Every structure is written in structure tokens, then in C-alpha cells.
Amino acid sequence: MSSTVIDDALKFIAEGAGKRFIGRATPRQFDQLCAIVGDDKRYSSSWPRLQYHAPDQEVVIDNFPVSGIHQVLSSFFLNQIEESFPLSIQSRFTVVFSTGHTRSDTGAAIIIEVGFSESMRRLERDAETWLIGLRDEVRVCIIITLDEQPAYRIPASGIVGPGIDIDEEAAAARVAMTRDRIDAGNVGMPLRYRGQTWVNWLTGRWPYIKQDLISVDLPLELTDEVTGSTPIGLRRSCFLSIEDMSMAEIEDIEVPFNFSSLYQKLRIAIAELGHLRYKEYLKTRASEP
């Protein structure tokens, strides 16, 4: 990716200039852009959604209001993996994922692909490209996806009257939606406000693919019934070589995932998605003649 395109991409993120940016990049060049975005709060604080489409060698940056969910999911898996290793080992990972944050240390790489109502097959193809293209660095790729059914569509007008204060109404909606998610027994159940649905039913999956390109498909449960830590077949050796583990005298045990710690963050992120959609609705209707 040329410096000119990087400058354009960063300007797009900083200014929120439009809905989508597309540029040409190799996997390593995409990693460089992620590093810049992740290290600078001017870009990372807006939670831009960075994706890499390997077949076309395209980097795609979206300003759609779903990135809070991407951030919560990718950070959860990253933190659970890192915390399973001693502190002396945690800094050895280079981690790249679609929310535009990265770790720029040396060592093994973990790829985390996050999708929201996207094609699972496309995410799998991207993961396989990472595993093949960066075979010496990447040992496993985790794919996390939430599917919204039916797909969200902005409601018709008539929910609120003319002359409403958008900021005041949006603030009230945020409080109500957050309370709704906190009280909900199922994190993925529809989020409703003022008689309309702002986030539809959500279901989740998180397959992972190892270097041998064998995929293990797992459901991402969105209910409070899941408690404690759950080992699912990913061992420490999936993220660090046996040789490195032997030198550091690290036992090759399964990595546990404490999914109960994920739900409260997901509740807030889903409420924020509903709030952003509602605010977008208010602004769209206010601009109508």
C-alpha cells in the first residue's frame, strides 16, 4: 500500500468521511495499516472496522455503527488467549484483527476475523489466506461471527414527532436500551424501543482454523446459562511453537475461555448498536422535507 493510500485511509477514519473506503494492499501492508490505527487514539477511538479481502488484495474500511461489537468480541478472545500464558510470554504475540488494533511485537501471530451478518465462507477464505501467506508466523486463525435475523432495516417515519431534540432523545434511548440489555436473560434477543426493533435476533459462531486448514466449528452461546471456563480443544501449542514452549518451560495445556465474562460487555455493545441506529434514524427523518 502506497503512503498516499495510507494517508487517504487515515483521513477517512479520522474524519468519518463517508461509509466505506477501499484500497489495494498485500497482507503485510494491511498489517502495517492496522499497526498505525491501533497505536493512535485519533483512529482507534472511533472503532473503525478494517477488513482484508485476500482474493482481490483489497483493504476495506467501514464506518458502519457495528464496530463496538467487533471490538468486544475480538478483545475478549485476544485477552483470554494472552492471559493463559505467563506474563513473560504474552508480549511475544503479534495479533491482527478486523477492528484495526494490533500488537507490534515479535513472535507468533494470532489472526482474529470478526464478522457481523457476513458470509462465513468469505471469512474462512480470508483466514486460509492468512494461514498460507504467513505460514511461518500464523499458527491459528479464529473466526467470530454474529448473524442478525432478519437483517436490520431503518424503520419508516412516524416514531417520533417533528421538532424533537435529537441529542436529548438519543440520550434517553441509550439509557433505556442499556437497561433493556442488562435485564435481558438472552443477550441475543431483539432490542426494542418505542415499539420498533433496533437490533434483531443474534446468533453466534466461532470456528477456528489451524495450520493444517482443518476447521472446528463451535456455537457462540448468547445466554447466561453458560458459566465458568470452558476448554474447547485449543492448546497453548496452537499459538506458540513446541520449541519455544520447551525453552520457556511452559506446559502444553488447553486454553480455557471464560464466556460468562463476555456477556456484560456484549450487552453494552448491543445496546450501543441500537442507540447508534436510533440516532441515525432520527437524523435521517429530521432531514426529510
d(CA 178, CA 210): 37
10 and 71 within one domain: no
pTM, whole model, 2 decimals? 0.70
Tally the domains of the chain: 2
My answer on whether 161 and 83 are in the same domain is yes
Q: Is 122 left (phi over 0), alpha (psi -120 to 50) or beta?
A: alpha
Domain final residue pick, 22, 45, 64:
64
* Torsions phi, psi for 169 (to 5 deg): -65, -40
Please name which of 134, 128, 118 lies closest in space to residue 49, comparing C-alpha atoms: 118
Q: Which residues contact 109 (CB under 8 A, 6 or more apart)?
A: 93, 94, 95, 96, 134, 137, 138, 139
What ranges make up the beta strands (E) of 58-173? 58-62, 94-97, 109-116, 138-149
Same domain, 106 and 16: no
Backbone angles phi, psi at 145, to 5 degrees: -140, 140
pLDDT in tens, the chain (289 residues): 555 777 778 888 777 656 678 888 777 777 777 777 766 666 655 556 677 666 567 777 766 544 578 778 877 887 888 888 877 676 555 555 544 333 334 445 677 878 777 677 777 877 777 777 666 667 788 888 888 999 898 888 777 777 778 889 989 999 999 999 988 878 889 999 999 999 999 998 888 887 777 778 888 877 766 666 766 778 888 777 777 777 778 888 888 888 777 888 888 889 989 998 998 888 887 666 5
Pick from 116, 96, 133: which is nearest to 204 by CA?
116
Please tell me the distance from the alpha carbon of residue 236 to that of residue 252, in angstroms, as a whole number.
5
- Please indicate, yes or no, whether residues 60 and 88 belong to a single structural domain of this protein: no
What count of residues does the chain have?
289
Same domain (yes/no): 43, 84: no
Pair 90, 11 in one domain = no
Residue where one domain finishes, among candidates 64, 90, 105:
64
Q: Is 9 helix (H, G, I), strand (E, B) or coil?
A: helix
- The reply to whether 38 and 165 lie within a common domain is no
Last residue of a domain, one of 32, 64, 96: 64
| Whether residue 14 is found in the same domain as residue 92 | no
Instruction: Name 174's Cβ contacts closer than 8 Å, sequence gap at least 6.
Output: 271, 272, 275
Instruction: Convert 197-217 to b/e letters by CB count within 10 Å (16 or more is b).
Output: bbbbebebebbbbbeeeeeee
Q: In what order do the strands lie in the sheet with 49-53?
A: 20-24, 58-62, 49-53
| Residues 2 and 129 reside in one and the same domain | no
Range of the domain at 287: 67-289
Tell me, yes or no, whether 76 and 37 share the same domain: no
Give the closest residue to 62 by CA, choosing from 29, 16, 101.
16
CA–CA gap between residue 238 and residue 211 (Å, rounded): 9
* Same-domain status, 28 and 117: no
Residues 212, 243, single domain; the answer is yes
